[in-house]
Structure 1
Amino acid sequence: MEEAEVERLVLEAKESIEAAINYRRELQHRLRGLGQARTQIKESAAHTRDALRQHFQDMRNAVSKMLDERLTVLLQQVEAIEHESIKPLDDCQKLLEHGVSTAEDLLREGEVAVSTTGENHQNLCNFTNKALHIQLDSLPEVPSLVEVPCLSAQLDDSLLSVARDHISSHGTVASRPPVQIEELIERPGGILVKWCKVDDDFVVQDYRLQYRRHNSGHFEDSYVGPDCEFIVLQIDPNVNYQFRVCARGDGRQEWSPWSVPQMGHTCLIPHEWSPGLEGYSLSSRRNIALRNDSPCQSVLYSKTATYFPGQTLTFRVETSGQLDKRDSIGVCVDKDGGCDSLQRDQAVCISPGGAVYVNGKEMTNQLPPVSPGSTITFDMETVSLGPNNNNEGPHQRRRVTIGSGNREVVFDWLLEQSCDALYFGCSFVHPNWKVLVF
């Protein structure tokens, strides 16, 4: 066999060995995934059994307690009726027994008086007078049996039928939760969580999103409402977080089972306002800026250029103050400490009144005025300058979309110099404006 042929066979053998190694690695990876799936089924089944046993034991205890309480009430009612009904009979019995005793005494005296008639007529006279005063023809009234209570218990066996109907349909077992997390998207200092309903028969009233640091042990509520996505902020970069979501059916109070927890993280550093500018107070994470009462003739910029094309930059106006034409919120190529507004060259911005400025010039199209709770979004992508210039050299064109309320404006922005990331900023003349950036 020729040397070239041997080399070819060796090469093919090495390629086969490498393919076998990759094949084995992939099979082992899938075996681990299969083991995780098996573990999820086993653990969720065990958890469901425990939950069912505990729930029905709690129900049994609660129903037994309610039955005991109801029995006690009814027995107390029987005792009260019995005591109230017996009392007049006791009074009548005392009266009758007193009459019997009086009659017996009179009878003995009469017998003595009659037996001694020949000896003493006075005894006979005394007995006759006493008998006339006793009124032997007056008898107390005794109630008949139909006039006194005859206690009984009215028990409706239909309760068992109703209970049987409710119990027979109480509780369900589902192989999957009705809602699952669909996608986790990185955001600067946050994660956009998207979820979807997977049970077509489940009518959703609200969703509930929770998150926690991986293995921290405690989930926290992040969102409750009808939307199917939410940006979870205050996420530390390069830290794993777990997310889960559940739903509440229309007209119901209880929440559905939780979705399978999903792991997510962000590598994007959070947007921060630059500290130290008099006239603005910042939150502890520096993502909220408040215009205070101190005088300020400058723009508050971001700490660094952290806005990249392809991302969505969002501002949310938390509180508002008095309007001024110079007020602005937007992005720019660089910081310019000599300007009191972003309505300048190499910047695009929106004023709280809805006017849009590109390089200091106001556009014809306007957006709705902002108010507390309004969000303003900036989306950008790099576009080609034309067939003879593909964004090479100092110039660069950006396709900009600014959204506010339910409207948006789209335009191309020509930058005099190429840049990877942009600064963001805001300027307000009057106090009480508070803006969150994410």
Structure 2
Amino acid sequence: MRGMEKEAETLLQEAKESIEAARNYGRELRQRLQGLQQARGQIRESAAQSRHVVQQHFCHLKGALLKLLDERLASLLQQVDSIEQENIKPLDDCQKLIEHGVSTAEDLVREGEIAIGGGEENEKLCSFTKKALHIQLDSLPEVPSLVEVPCLSAQLDDSLLTVVKDRILIHGTIASQPPVQIEELVERPGGILVRWCKVDDDFVPQDYRLQYRKSTADHFEDVYVGSETEFLVLQIDPQVDYQFRVCARGDGRQEWSPWSVPQLGHTTLVPHEWTTGLEGYSLSSRRNIALRNDSPYCGVLYSKAPTYYCGQTLTFRIDSIGQPDKQDSLGVCVEQQNGHESLQRDKAVCISTNGAVFVNGKEMTNQLPPVSAGSTVTFDVEAVYLGPAINSNGGAFKLRVTVSSNNREVVFDWVLNQLCDKLYFGCSFTNPGWKVLVF
């Protein structure tokens, strides 16, 4: 009996598992159907948009070409009219002169015939003869030969149609994919790192153009133009979706390529912020920029919270500089300790503005270049467990730290008695004028 009950329970459990597996299978299939619909929608929408763009372009092109042909036709006809009028006028003047001479000759002939018909009246004959001599009947106007006057002709190169035809036949292209696509969106504190790549082997990019917008906004806005293939977009609100797209400009060309397929991204990490209200430092509205002001107070400005997580990259960008001091510091620490004038202390690692690197207050042998305006200093920290019972606290951990500045870096291990997966950051400047952005 028990065996039958156990078998029934087993069959029931298997049936339930099969039902759950079928539900999961159906759910996965429906998600794939939704993905297919989205893919089909992208093809249909992009095809419709491409048709509209092509039709509009060729409509504009036909109108522009027809206008140019009409303008050229009018120009050539005006040239014909001008040459005709310019060279016909002298012939008209000559014709008037000849016609006047013909009329004068006819009048003279009639007078002469009358004078002769009047008999031998010497007075009339003498008057006619004098008049005939005065008219200079042996003087004839010059009439240009046909080779001396213009003979208009039109030279129209029939090869123009061939040239235009050849250009039209290769004008415009239809691509199934844009030449560049967004490859990765990586969340950062208060920002998103956007990486893109070229997907057309025949396309030679010169510059890239990155745009973004909130998913609720109507228009994209430029955020980067340059030759790099990644860019950190800052001032991103946490838990808010943003759309990103990128295009490229081919080598030696002026026009931009089609946009990549927009990608949706967001960050769950709150932005890095400096602590407010500390005398000696003025902060920006987003509290990610600190300026050492003229106040005589000298101390460490810490982050509002331990927002730096191991495995990320923390970057300080020096926007302006003041007079350097050996106590200046930029770095990370396990905890806030008020009363110190610098991060050159226990449970902290930092770099001074002269390039010296400090671990728990001790200066390392290796140094980095001095910090200058426009410099970026980065900290990359990775947690590594050393093993149990290494010290009296029952264990030890080390953080492998990489500090980079001006294309140089130092790597060292920072040993702690407890694992710290998130750290504070801080800075201290003795003299005013230093301005630093953290991201």
Q: Could you list the runs of 5+ residues in structure 2 that have no partner in the other structure?
A: none
Distance 1:54 1:386, change over 3 A: same
Task: Quote how far apart the aligned CAs of 1:117 are.
Answer: 4.0
> Is the deviation greater in 10-19 or in 326-335?
326-335
Task: Quote how far apart the aligned CAs of 1:90 are.
Answer: 2.4
> Is the deviation greater in 20-29 or in 395-404?
395-404
Match of 2:348 in 1: 347
1:253 aligns with 2:254: yes
> Is the deviation greater in 2-11 or in 290-299?
290-299
Q: How far apart are the structure 2 equivalents of 1:252 and 1:218?
A: 25
**Counterparts of 1:13-24 in structure 2 under 5 Å?**
13-24=15-26
Task: Quote how far apart the aligned CAs of 1:379 are.
Answer: 0.9
Match of 1:421 in 2: 422
> Is the deviation greater in 96-105 or in 397-406?
96-105
Q: How far apart are the structure 2 equivalents of 1:434 and 1:147?
A: 85
CA shift digits 1:175-229 (9 cap, x unpaired): 2122111111110010011111112222221221111111412111111222211
> Is the deviation greater in 45-54 or in 421-430?
421-430
> Is the deviation greater in 29-38 or in 343-352?
343-352
Task: Quote how far apart the aligned CAs of 1:32 are.
Answer: 0.7
Distance 1:392 1:135, change over 3 A: farther
Match of 2:409 in 1: 408
Paired amino acid for 2:88 = I
Paired amino acid for 1:107 = V
CA shift digits 1:358-395 (9 cap, x unpaired): 22222111222333332211111211133435997696
SS at match of 1:101: helix
Task: Quote how far apart the aligned CAs of 1:420 are.
Answer: 4.4
Match of 1:135 in 2: 136
**Counterparts of 1:42-121 in structure 2 under 5 Å?**
42-118=44-120, 120-121=121-122
Match of 2:382 in 1: 381
Distance 1:5 1:298, change over 3 A: same
Paired amino acid for 1:212 = R
**Counterparts of 1:357-376 in structure 2 under 5 Å?**
357-376=358-377
Q: How far apart are the structure 1 equivalents of 2:118 and 2:167?
A: 86
CA shift digits 1:77-132 (9 cap, x unpaired): 222222222222222223223322322332332233222244x5333222211211
CA shift digits 1:293-342 (9 cap, x unpaired): 44441233222221111111111222333333232221223334433332
SS at match of 1:414: strand
- What count of residue pairs does the alignment treat as equivalent? 437
CA shift digits 1:338-358 (9 cap, x unpaired): 333322332211123322122
**Mapped contact 1:244–1:258 kept (Cα < 8 A):** yes
Match of 1:223 in 2: 224
Match of 2:125 in 1: 124
Q: Could you list the runs of 5+ residues in structure 1 that have no partner in the other structure?
A: none
**Mapped contact 2:389–2:396 kept (Cα < 8 A):** no
Match of 1:29 in 2: 31
Distance 1:298 1:93, change over 3 A: farther
TM-score, with normalisation over the residues of structure 2? 0.93
**Mapped contact 1:384–1:390 kept (Cα < 8 A):** no
Paired amino acid for 1:192 = L
SS at match of 2:210: strand
**Mapped contact 1:183–1:194 kept (Cα < 8 A):** yes
TM-score, with normalisation over the residues of structure 1? 0.93
Paired amino acid for 1:169 = I
**Mapped contact 2:383–2:421 kept (Cα < 8 A):** no
Task: Quote how far apart the aligned CAs of 1:418 are.
Answer: 5.1
Q: How far apart are the structure 2 equivalents of 1:200 and 1:312?
A: 32
Paired amino acid for 2:58 = F
**Percent sequence identity over matched residues?**
72
Distance 1:296 1:109, change over 3 A: farther
CA shift digits 1:376-415 (9 cap, x unpaired): 1111121113343599769642111111222211111134
Distance 1:207 1:6, change over 3 A: same
